[in-house]
Amino acid sequence: MLEVIEKVPLKEKPDWVLVYGDTNSTPAGALAAVKLHTPLAHVEAGLRSFNWRMPEEINRVLTDHASDLLFAPTEKAAQNLKREGIPEERIHLVGDIMYDATLYNGQKAEAESRILEKLLLQPKNYILATVHRAENTDDPARLHVILKALAEVHQEMPVVFPVHPRARKAAERFGLVHLLESVVAIEPVGYLDMVMLEKKACLIATDSGGVQKEAFFYRVPCVTLREETEWVELVELGWNRIIPPFSVDAIANGIKSSLRDFLHFDGAPYGDGHAASKIIQYLTMRY
């Protein structure tokens, strides 16, 4: 990956290299920039789950400490960077560009998506589930617990499950396909259809970092099927509940109780929807 990424800045000679998030391409892009002595900026900097078993956590920390500018989406993220000794002049609290995108694409999905009609779904009368993290899909016990719990919940409320290719292959490998058949398991959908499914769900159960935030942006309760989250603000505000995928009953009962007893507080931890323009402003100031 590094060898391929290096070709782009070598050819284009950019003023900045911007990397986003915490996937494996993020530290690869960061290393390419550092090796080529090109200024590096990290968008979505400072997030921490404090779980070093997660590849994403390693990617975040390495990228942050290699970057010249760090664009933090939340105050907690900015504080994490300061505690790690990163100079304050390199840290900028700009908000979350995902919120910018959500404001735009939520309206677009309403106008263009027909996924609810296709699946014969009624708004606020189904649960949306997503599972893709290797820690869940590659562990047969955890995957069994998750799928069994979703199948149990489906008996009371439809569970729509766009099945990630990794999860489907794992279900086949571990002999769990029958559990996929116990929910509304569908093929992965395009972005706007996913946005519409998120907006109109009564609850979302997920192990995705991005979907947790989108649930909050669309004001949909969320249950996170992990042991921790980097988006601690959502837990503190009551929009997100963490349920580690170790017990079928814990997940099923947690989802059901979240539907019945959902308590939340208003807040705006991710900015005002203008993070992208602030990032551009900082980049042009430094150039």
Active site residues: 132
Closest CA to 265 of 222, 243, 241, 236: 236
Closest CA to 209 of 189, 233, 182: 233
What phi and psi, each to the nearest 5 degrees, are found at residue 24?
Answer: -60, -25
CB 71 within 8 A of CB 42: yes
Question: Within 10 A of 109 (CB to CB), how many other CB atoms are there?
Answer: 23
CB 38 within 8 A of CB 16: yes
**Angle at Cα 75 formed by Cα 72 and Cα 78, nearest 5°?**
50
CB 218 within 8 A of CB 240: no
Closest CA to 241 of 260, 217, 262, 271: 262
